[in-house]
Structure 1
Amino acid sequence: MATKKTSNTRSTKKTSSRTKQKAGRRKILPIVLKSAGALMLLGIIFFLLVFLGILGPVPSSYQLKQISTPVASEVYSADGKVLGRYYVENRSNVRFEAISPNVINALIATEDARFYEHRGIDEIALLRVLVKSILLQDKSAGGGSTLSQQIAKNLFPREELGPFSMPVNKLREAIIAYRLERIYSKQEILAMYLNTVPFSENIYGIEVAAERFFSKKPANLELHEAAVLVGLLKANNYYNPRKYPEHALNRRNLVIDQMAKYEYITNEQAEKYKAKPLEIKYRVISYNQGPAPYFLEMLKPQLLEWCKNNTNEKGENYNLYTDGLKIKTTIDYNLQYYAQQSVKEYMKNLQKVFDNHWKSRDIFRENPEIIRSAIRRIEKENGNSNIDIDKALASYNKEITTSLFTWDDLKEIQTTRLDSLKHYLKLLNAGFIAIEPQNGDLKAWVGGIDFRFFKYDHVKAARQTGSTFKPFVYLAALETGLSPDRYFENKFTVYEDYDNWAPRNSHEEYQGYYTMKGALAQSINTISVDVLLETGVSNVIDVAENLGISADLPQTPSLALGVASISLKEIVEAYAGIVNDGSPVQAHYLLEILDNNGNTLETYGYPGYKKSRVSPENCRAVINMMEAVVEDGTGKGIRTVYHIPGDFAGKTGTTQNNSDGWFIGITPNLVTGCWVGADDPRVHFRTTTYGQGAYMALPIVGKFFYKTYRDQKFASLKYSTFKQPEPELLAMLDEPQYKEILEADKKFFDLAKIFGGKDDAGLKERKEKSVEEKKARPLWNAIKSIFKKKK
């Protein structure tokens, strides 16, 4: 009986225990259910708070359809290449079809392997991240964000909400990603991603990245190149192939492995591409570092004005920096490149010559006013008009750390503001421009040596022209009836009517007789002044103005020597007018403005054809004279040094004290001009050997044509020919350019020697008579009306 009682007792205890457990579970279950319900309710509330935009704005489906990221406006050359961009963010958009499959495959394999299987949110990837990254702390597990979620993060900045920032932003991005997938196709999402993602160096989008690192369009990227760019997305500075090639190579190979893993390529192909060296072809095309920064800066005000006066389909004014306009111009990409290259190559060498030239002397000690006036200008620009120069000079002696431009590289140095100022004042600068004379198409524009440091555009800057003005003097002389075969005496003359002013020749030689052609070829100053005075200053000014020169031209004899300050652009346009048979030429550079989708918004026609204001025959005669400059005159370096073939004319120019060096180089289909000098005219070479236009400016034009003529694209240029004057005029131009003594005087001198003496007074009288006889030549009197300026 005792045993049975014990057994019953145990049974009762077990039953009681089970009853308690059941009762406990019955008590916990409601708590669990209530907790789950509360969590679910909190989750729903949290979802609604995010979904409704209470915890931060969430774009609607309508807003997502109107997605518009800031897109740089691009300026194109005539041959369709990008010259530069105006932007807030350096990005451009490209269609899916224009992206290489190599990029697409590398992107999906690396960033979102299940891209084609999910609808914006990859639950499997999220679960992997939850287990591996959060629970197991495995940092190699990767992220759970899909490409669509990354687009959401790129386009719509995250909100800062303290400890709730991460869950709120992740949910918000998931909602946006889901909506994106409902609105856009998979291809559109891929293109959107590749157009918005930052790659490196403040550039956005696959097109700019391909251009920057490989000088290619996205459609032309090879697999290993695509892998480099996709690899950048992990950490775009750390994997920058220019800065850290070893990092970039390792990351590239990892991307290639991913492509093999997901069977976009075979393992054999992967090994082949991984064996390739990391090679980039780096090219910067931004607003101020592309091949034409000065041209873009010149163009900008006109484009801003256009945006101000034109509206898009929303009725809003176009924005040059964000609306992705496409601006087509007349600039030829290769010619622009050759021009910029020629300027940089020669100016680097010329600067070394200049520095050695002044090595043993201090230009600023010899002329302290250079520094003082520079400081006045700087302080005035900073709003300090009434500056005490002596106090300012003291402040300029404080040490600073700065980056200085040098031709070898940028140098980070510790110096004083004063020494930095002296450094920049001693740098020579340059301007170069090329125009097609028949239609005014602008083909190249280089405003200085480096836009990052020197914003002043020397193509537009007015400087004294020196002898480059002389062709207008001789053209005016022909217009008023002076004969091209008449000889002018090269003599030193003091002009009492002009304050005893006496022009001098650069070589200080005063002897013999020159035709206009000979005087222009050898740049004889004394004869240029004689011709100007005989022609009439007002007639010379009329011819210059008829060819488009608008600068103020002084009514003094020194006008013949180029004392007038005229911009390089105006001078080259006027020379182009001479090549264009006397019809004025105005540089034409805008062709078309299109919107981001390629729709034409504005087309620019050519300026109306202007009737010749100067005799075509006389223009051809002056070109013939300028050909002599190149054949055996001051510009012969074009032939002897740079070996430029074909028809070529030109004119050198050097101003007083060698402050400005000029050369205008002319071919039948391209007129070029170059100016070289320091920003302050008081900074210059001390001798004409180095300071003349033939040494400072001609080599840049020579280099430009040497590079151009070696390019098969421009081979036909060297075979073009100038229009020739009529036979009678050409015969006069072919007279000997120089005579030591005129024939009539020679006969008189020989007779004087026979009869035992030299009658200086008689010889002078005979010379004057000889000149008068040349003026009255019957042949010229018969035909000069043909070439006389039409009233």
Structure 2
Amino acid sequence: MAIKKSNTQTKGIDKDVKYYSRLFWKIYFYGLGIIALFFLFASWGLFGSMPSFEDLENPDSNLATEIISSDGVVLGKYFKQNRSALKYSDLPKNLVQALIATEDARFYEHSGIDGRGTLRAIASLGTSGGASTLTQQLAKQLFHGEGSKFLPFRIIQKAKEWIIAIRLERQYTKNEIIAMYCNVYDFGNYSVGVSSAAKTYFSKEPKDLTIDESAILVGMFKNSGLYNPVKNPVGVKNRRNVVLLQMEKANLITEDQKVQLQSLPITLKFKLESHREGTATYFREYLRDYMKKWVEENKKPDGTDYDIYKDGLKIYTTIDSRMQAYAEEAVAAHMANMQEEFFIQNKDNKNAPFINISEAETQRIINQSMKSSSRWAILKDQDKSDEEIIKSFNEKTKMTVFTWKGERDTIMTPMDSIRYYKHFLQAGVMSMEPQTGNIKVWVGGINYKYFQYDHVGQGARQVGSTFKPFVYATAIEQLNMSPCDSILDGPFIIRKGRHHVTEDWEPRNSDNNYRGMVTLKQALAYSINTVSAKLIDKVSPEAVIELTHKLGVKSEIVTQPSIALGAVEITVEDMVAAFSTFANQGVYTKPQFLSKIENKSGEVIYEPIPESHDVLNKDIAFAIIKLLEGVTESGSGARLRTQGGGNGDKRWTGYPYMFKNPIAGKTGTSQNQSDGWFMGMVPNLVTGVWVGCEDRSAHFKSLTYGQGAAMALPIWGYFMNKCYEDKALTISKESFERPKNLSIKVDCYVPRAAVVQDTTASPEQDTEEFSL
């Protein structure tokens, strides 16, 4: 029998229902209010600072400054973090698809917070994923940082992350958010952002990434420390295959494509973007020093300083990446051969690589290098005494040394390594457009990692006979001479007291012979010393120095007649600028390496103003060009027009010049074969090449290899061959422009001399066979 509830009991139950119902809604609304207040307080910054509107407009992305060539190639970067900004349109489509499919499938549906994913994460207590959207991950990367493990702090951080994510969604488009996310993620190995990662791991531009490579990078978004393809290829392959699976589920690739791509091995072309490696390393360091001064003189609109390491500047240079590569190839090809011969010649030299200096002088050179080394500076900073440091220099240690066949691990004392590196021949090459002053090539040495001294902008070396055109130009200008005028090649003395000479000076020709009456064109072609001495005697050293400075040479020059033979130290940069004046019809144009500088927003913040001034009239400049053409027609540069540039040794047969076009040039060799030069010109390109050891007492024993025609000219020939093969460069093969109504006689007969070929042949020897 059913028991009927009393009215009192019914009323009690109803009262309880109402009470708990009201309590539930109170808790619900109070909870909502507390949550709302919590998010409001968080947005006000009561739980820690939040990004302002300005911050969201300009997030601190710490962008690397890019150095861009005239043909649009990134030569290198200056950075604390190697990060470059890409626009959404620059990202490969397959990478964007893989990213969304793997990290945030509903990215285009939510407004920063994925409600469905958040509820799933709460219900599973995080075991099914953290539900962070791409926007939330971006917020954490830009303004938030790593989360705390302490629950209250973690809740606060998550709230801030949500708020920033919503603000980012309001401020930016979906595509902009994807681009920002791809630009700020740290992929390890000093690579921040997809652009840097693509170059570091695959040596590619992002647009060239394959689906497989994009999947590898997307897989790294989960944890780049764990999924590092260099250290953990197995884990990376597994993670990549997960990404490919997600792409297949999203119908972005077919099942067959997935299977095929998942079977591929992890293939890298890993190369760290380093300040000391890559293309145009010496130029990039020269530019860095320039930019340090530039930022002191140029301020941001708000008056603060630019930072070349994080402001994302784009420095557009005049360097042509193709020509730069050809010049570096030319240096490597020729210098490896020269170095092999240099080691051979020093094999039995007990004082190698030095020649004709005392033991005391040798020790002075070695000690000076020791005290200027980074090792000495580091040990000094550790408060080591000189005796302790010197002792350490004589203790054998493991080290990696440079050879032309690659780096080599060895054991030797630091003192022996100093002497080892003294053996290496160095080189400097610069090319410039004479009409614009634009520098197209800058090779300051053979390997920046091991030899940091810049032999283009820093190193002034004795120029030898390449100085003689300045003497001839002065003579033609002041004495109204022409290339066809004759002069006696015979014994000549400048007496004591004349031109400040302290004792009689009697210059001699390199072959100790005299040729009698010769034209100026013959005299320069054969580089006759007595003629240069007679000309400077007539015009005075002061006049030659004045003209040389007008041509752009900044070196101090001693007022003495011997400068006519090249006893002057000048940089490659100044020599190229000076010779360019002749090719530019007598107008000096200051060399320039910058086109413009842009800020990270693409606004031009600096454009250099070209500088130029008249030095010679067109007729005189053209007369010098015709003189210099004689050098490559019948003089020391005539090997440019022969089958080979060497001495019959098979190591030298890689230089088949056979140039047919007009070339104006001049070789130069300093005393004791310490410096070899070649200055070569065509109408729209002037290139200077210097070769020599760091110390002038280290050099070839004879002129067979120790002259400019053997040391420097082959680099010019190899480089120009490459440039002419590249039709996109449009390097001229035409004649130099002849002035209208030319008043100077320049067309005179010069008999073609037989090209002297070196005949000394030596068997090949591995560089690594050399020992101290």
Compute the TM-score of the two structures, normalised by the length of structure 1: 0.79
2:631 is matched with which residue: 629, 632, 656? 629
Measured in 1, the distance between the counterparts of 2:146 and 2:192 equals 22
Measured in 2, the distance between the counterparts of 1:646 and 1:245 equals 54
Measured in 1, the distance between the counterparts of 2:742 and 2:298 equals 55
Equivalent in the alignment of 2:139: 152
Q: Classify 1:323/1:491 alpha carbon distance in 2 versus 1 (closer, same or farther; 3 Å).
A: same
Letter in 2 for 1:632: S
Q: Classify 1:408/1:243 alpha carbon distance in 2 versus 1 (closer, same or farther; 3 Å).
A: farther
Letter in 2 for 1:701: W
Measured in 2, the distance between the counterparts of 1:254 and 1:646 equals 60
Measured in 1, the distance between the counterparts of 2:41 and 2:114 equals 22
- Superposed, 1:214-613 pairs within 5 Å as 214=202, 216-236=204-224, 251-271=239-259, 273-274=261-262, 287-312=275-300, 314-361=302-349, 362-363=351-352, 366=359, 367-378=362-373, 393-460=390-457, 461-479=459-477, 480-491=479-490, 497=496, 498=501, 499-607=503-611, 609-611=612-614, 613=615
CA contact (8 A) 1:518 1:737 kept: no
Deviations 1:155-209 (A, max 9, x none): 2354786744655544443443343334333222111101111224212222333
Letter in 2 for 1:258: Q
1:72 is matched with which residue: 57, 64, 71? 64
Deviations 1:674-703 (A, max 9, x none): 112222222222222222212221122111
Identity fraction in percent? 38
Deviations 1:375-407 (A, max 9, x none): 34449978989x998775434213444443333
Q: Classify 1:85/1:522 alpha carbon distance in 2 versus 1 (closer, same or farther; 3 Å).
A: same
CA contact (8 A) 2:634 2:751 kept: no
Query: Which has the larger Rg?
Result: 1
CA contact (8 A) 2:483 2:745 kept: no
Measured in 2, the distance between the counterparts of 1:506 and 1:250 equals 71
Measured in 2, the distance between the counterparts of 1:571 and 1:651 equals 11
Q: Classify 1:720/1:594 alpha carbon distance in 2 versus 1 (closer, same or farther; 3 Å).
A: farther
SS in 1 for 2:446: coil
Cα deviation, residue 610, structure 1: 2.1
Measured in 2, the distance between the counterparts of 1:388 and 1:65 equals 55
Cα deviation, residue 441, structure 1: 1.5
CA contact (8 A) 1:514 1:737 kept: no
CA contact (8 A) 1:513 1:738 kept: no
Matched, 1:95 2:87: yes
CA contact (8 A) 2:379 2:389 kept: no
Q: Classify 1:660/1:133 alpha carbon distance in 2 versus 1 (closer, same or farther; 3 Å).
A: farther
Compute the TM-score of the two structures, normalised by the length of structure 2: 0.81
Measured in 1, the distance between the counterparts of 2:687 and 2:438 equals 12
Q: Classify 1:615/1:185 alpha carbon distance in 2 versus 1 (closer, same or farther; 3 Å).
A: closer
Cα deviation, residue 710, structure 1: 0.5
Measured in 1, the distance between the counterparts of 2:268 and 2:741 equals 57
Deviates more, 1:209-218 or 1:645-654: 209-218
Equivalent in the alignment of 2:659: 644
Measured in 2, the distance between the counterparts of 1:133 and 1:684 equals 75
Deviations 1:609-633 (A, max 9, x none): 423x324223222222222222232
Letter in 1 for 2:312: G
Cα deviation, residue 661, structure 1: 1.4
Equivalent in the alignment of 2:669: 654
Deviates more, 1:427-436 or 1:373-382: 373-382
Q: Classify 1:394/1:277 alpha carbon distance in 2 versus 1 (closer, same or farther; 3 Å).
A: closer
Deviations 1:266-323 (A, max 9, x none): 2234345556676666676665434223223323344344434444454533332222
Letter in 2 for 1:459: V
Deviates more, 1:160-169 or 1:176-185: 160-169
CA contact (8 A) 1:543 1:614 kept: no
1:616 is matched with which residue: 603, 615, 618? 618
CA contact (8 A) 2:283 2:442 kept: yes
Measured in 1, the distance between the counterparts of 2:380 and 2:738 equals 57
Equivalent in the alignment of 2:172: 184
SS in 2 for 1:651: strand
2:712 is matched with which residue: 682, 685, 697? 697
- Superposed, 1:39-50 pairs within 5 Å as none
Deviates more, 1:254-263 or 1:231-240: 231-240
User: Structure 1 or 2: larger helix share?
Assistant: 1
Measured in 1, the distance between the counterparts of 2:431 and 2:232 equals 40
CA contact (8 A) 1:71 1:323 kept: yes
Equivalent in the alignment of 2:703: 688
Measured in 2, the distance between the counterparts of 1:243 and 1:471 equals 59
Q: Classify 1:390/1:509 alpha carbon distance in 2 versus 1 (closer, same or farther; 3 Å).
A: farther
SS in 1 for 2:287: helix
Q: Classify 1:541/1:389 alpha carbon distance in 2 versus 1 (closer, same or farther; 3 Å).
A: farther
Measured in 1, the distance between the counterparts of 2:236 and 2:412 equals 37
Measured in 2, the distance between the counterparts of 1:738 and 1:496 equals 34
SS in 1 for 2:662: coil
CA contact (8 A) 1:82 1:285 kept: no
Measured in 1, the distance between the counterparts of 2:507 and 2:230 equals 58
Letter in 2 for 1:457: D
CA contact (8 A) 2:674 2:698 kept: yes
Q: Classify 1:58/1:401 alpha carbon distance in 2 versus 1 (closer, same or farther; 3 Å).
A: farther
CA contact (8 A) 1:376 1:389 kept: no
CA contact (8 A) 1:79 1:333 kept: yes
Q: Classify 1:731/1:481 alpha carbon distance in 2 versus 1 (closer, same or farther; 3 Å).
A: closer
SS in 1 for 2:51: coil
Cα deviation, residue 452, structure 1: 3.1
Equivalent in the alignment of 1:664: 679
Letter in 1 for 2:135: S
Deviations 1:311-366 (A, max 9, x none): 44545333322222222222222112222232233323333332232222232685
Equivalent in the alignment of 1:5: none
5+ residue gaps, structure 1, are 1-10, 12-21, 136-140, 740-791
Cα deviation, residue 216, structure 1: 4.9
Equivalent in the alignment of 2:767: none
Measured in 1, the distance between the counterparts of 2:455 and 2:390 equals 28
SS in 1 for 2:304: coil
Equivalent in the alignment of 1:106: 98
Cα deviation, residue 709, structure 1: 0.5
CA contact (8 A) 2:482 2:744 kept: no
Letter in 2 for 1:685: F
